[in-house]
Amino acid sequence: MTTQLLTYIFVGVSFALYIGIALWSKAQSTNDFYVAGKGVHPVANGMATAADWMSAASFLSMAGLIAFLGKDGSVYLMGWTGGYVLLALLLAPYLRKFGKFTVPDFIGERYYSKAARKLAVICLIFISFTYIAGQMRGVGIVFSRFLEVDINTGVIVGMAIVFFYAVLGGMKGITYTQVAQYCVLIFAYLVPAIFISILMTGNPIPQIGFGSTMVDSDIYLLDKLDQVTKDLGFTAYTENVKSNIDIFCITAALMFGTAGLPHVIVRFFTVPNVGAARQSAGYALIFIALLYTTAPAVSAFARMNLIDSIQDQPYSTSPSWFKNWEEIGLIAWKDKNMDGKIQYSSGNALDDIKPKYTNDRGDSGERVVENIPNLSNGNEIYIDRDIIVLANPEIAQLPGWVIALVAAGGLAAALSTAAGLLLVISSSISHDLLKKTYMPNITEKQELRYARIAAAVAIGIAGIFGIYPPAFVAQVVAFAFGLAAATFFPALFLGIFYKRLNKEGAIAGMLSGLIFTASYIIYFKFINPEINNADFWFLGISPEGIGAVGMILNFSLALVISSLTNPPPNEVLSMVDEIRQP
């Protein structure tokens, strides 16, 4: 069987499974639709949270990013797992005790204010849509490379699947499909990693394998990798390039951002009680750690394999994956020294970084790019980092079914996260904006109908993002985490741990965090991208890490303004007492 046929089978079977689950778990009430009837077992919720959390970015992009960043890539590993400690210890149990439906719900009630609720809805929608755009791009990449269908068709198929189980099943449908999606994605991630680990180091456990010696030699893999990267003009793989303060702030922004992401928090509303919420955060992190501790091993293997398989190879005999990805437009080769061989080293191969292809073919048969080659370095290739995980099984020459499995896993990761995001968007609209603010008189049945309509509209918008991807998708990922850290985390944390915090303080804090963080990112990413470097940054902190500063600003302003204004009313104080009890 061809790899493509296998991929169709794997993807088809997994999609049929998701639809089957959706039919089985139809939502009957708003309680079902928003929080799955609050009856999800902690282990199941742990898996669902892991699938919800691990997006196309975690599955497809992260190992590739780390492969090129080396030790600096640790910011993602620590940032995207360490946040769960904060979530488990500081937020999840208390928000579960509060026992309502959405994150803006808590902010609206704790700060006794419709303005605070609306502000929270705005932040939530912005954060969630930023995130969805990335998922749809992931779906598009997988479809176009492995199933050879048009990206648009791929996005529409993906939308149809999500539409089916999110609109029909709400949180209940999403939860149980996410459990299935977790199983698919983790299996798809581990199998090739184990194979490659055995091939390269003889050790079947990738987490140990990448600290072992290479097969047929007594040189440690990481030592060899350090040597090879240094020889090619990069910083050694296991050393940092970024400054410590920047690494510190990016890690902090990702951690606190993770803890403040509404689609993750809301998963803890679905378990039966406080104890289950705590446990389920632990299970979630185990399930996440399985992928996150494997990823850096995959990165090291991939970087090594990549260099080995293309360096000084004539283009005409280069491996087929190299040419396949060139056809898709995610690899480009510019033969600067005209020797017909591929040379890879540090620096951007082309001016403007991204290749612009012409319709011509070069002397060796490569796609010609019209970019001016960057002659300040000898690097001849452009590689999009997103392809590393998808290309890895091909680079390591694994059998076709492994490649098909990875395609199904990538889709599971993208779809599960998209569904979770769509749900928080739709529930914040039907519940927080309509029921709790503008249309308090609607019945539960009407609210459920609005929730479904909102979910359908949100899927439509997400699909448009997938078909016409905004050029700035990668640029705005920093937004989602920075804003969650600078707006939601302080408001939720202080709401539980500091009774005296009042409406005025919370609103001032969230607004200042939002405005400061958004302006800093917009300034460096869009208005003046040419000065986006450490010489111009505030204290040497990049836009990716600025959310940490925004969060400190939020905390300070919230505390100062609160102490200057009236304390919160007694009902709110007793509500806080109530959520502090198990």
Q: Determine if 240 is a binding residue for another protein (CB under 8 A).
A: yes
Stretch that binds another protein, among 86-94, 421-429, 448-456, 463-471 (CB under 8 A): 86-94
Q: Which stretch binds another protein (CB under 8 A): 20-28, 135-143, 249-257, 562-570?
A: 249-257
Q: Which member of 51, 91, 171, 221 binds another protein (CB under 8 A)?
A: 221
Give the nearest distance from C-beta 240 to another protein in angstroms.
8
Among 37, 64, 82, 170, binds another protein (CB under 8 A): 82
* Cβ 516 vs Cβ 224: under 8 Å: no
Q: From the list 137, 278, 431, 452, which residue makes contact with another protein (rule: CB under 8 A)? A: 278
Question: By CB under 8 A, is residue 500 in contact with another protein?
Answer: no
| Residue (245 or 473) nearer to another protein, CB | 245
C-alpha–C-alpha distance, residues 407 and 297, integer Å = 20
77 binds another protein (CB under 8 A): yes
Rank residues 81 and 562 by Cβ distance to another protein and give the closer one. 81
265 binds another protein (CB under 8 A): no
217 is a site residue for another protein (CB under 8 A): no
Nearer to another protein, 222 or 522 (CB): 222
Choices 95-103, 114-122, 246-254, 318-326; region in contact with another protein by CB under 8 A: 246-254
Tokens of 391: 């290309």
As a whole number of angstroms, the distance between CA 283 and CA 266 comes to 16
Phi, then psi, of 500 in degrees rounded to 5: -70, -15
Query: Contact between 207 and another protein (CB under 8 A)?
Result: yes
CA distance 517 to 519: 6
Residues in 551-580 at the binding interface with another protein, rule: CB under 8 A: 577, 580
How would you write 409-466 as a 3-class SS string? HHHHHHHHHHHHHHHHHHHHHHHHHHHHHHCCCCCHHHHHHHHHHHHHHHHHHHHHHH
Cβ 100 to another protein shortest distance, Å: 22
Interface with another protein by CB under 8 A: which range of 190-198, 219-227, 411-419, 445-453?
A: 219-227
For 357, phi and psi rounded to 5 degrees?
A: -85, 150
224's CB contacts (< 8 A; 6+ apart) are: 214, 304
Q: Which CB, 165 or 292, lies closer to another protein?
A: 292
Q: Is the dihedral of CA 472, 237, 394, 361 positive or negative?
A: positive
In this structure, what are the phi and psi dihedrals at residue 19, rounded to the nearest 5 degrees? Answer: -70, -40
Using the rule CB under 8 A, which residue among 8, 223, 473, 522 binds another protein? 223
From the number of C-beta atoms within 10 Å of its C-beta (0-12, 13-18, 19+), residue 300 rates as buried
CA distances from 350 to 100, 147, 327, 358 (A): 53, 30, 18, 14
Among 8, 220, 498, 523, binds another protein (CB under 8 A): 220
* Positive or negative torsion for Cα 87, 90, 93, 94: negative
**48 touches another protein (CB under 8 A):** no
Question: Which residue of 17, 43, 85, 147 would you call a contact of another protein, by CB under 8 A?
Answer: 85
Q: Please list, in sequence order, all residues whose beta carbon lies within 8 angstroms of the beta carbon of residue 258, skipping any fewer than 6 positions away.
A: 53, 79, 80, 82, 83, 84, 86, 87, 264, 481, 484
244 binds another protein (CB under 8 A): yes
Residue 382: partners with Cβ closer than 8 Å, 6 or more residues away? 331, 332, 333, 334, 348, 349, 350, 353, 354, 355
Rg (CA), the chain: 24
Cβ-based nearer residue to another protein, 236 or 461? 236
Q: What is the closest distance, in whole angstroms, from the C-beta atom of residue 209 to another protein in the complex?
A: 9
Q: Is 99 in the site for another protein (CB under 8 A)?
A: no
Dihedral over alpha carbons 298, 301, 304, 309 (to 10 degrees): -100
Out of 238, 519, 528, 556, the residue judged to bind another protein by CB under 8 A:
238
CB-wise, 15 or 489, nearer to another protein?
489
Question: Of 139, 144, 158, which is closest to residue 329 (Cα–Cα)?
Answer: 144
Nearer to another protein, 240 or 377 (CB): 240
Residues with Cβ within 8 Å of 220's Cβ and at least 6 positions away in sequence, in order, are 211, 212, 213, 214
Among 18, 37, 48, 73, binds another protein (CB under 8 A): 73
Q: Which positions from 279 through 318 interact with another protein, judged by CB under 8 A?
A: 279, 281-282, 285-286, 289, 292-293, 296
Residue 41 makes contact with another protein by CB under 8 A? no
What residues line the site for another protein (CB under 8 A)? Answer: 66, 71, 73-74, 77-78, 81-82, 84-86, 88-90, 93, 207-208, 210-213, 220-223, 238, 240, 244, 247-248, 251-252, 255, 275, 278-279, 281-282, 285-286, 289, 292-293, 296, 577, 580-582
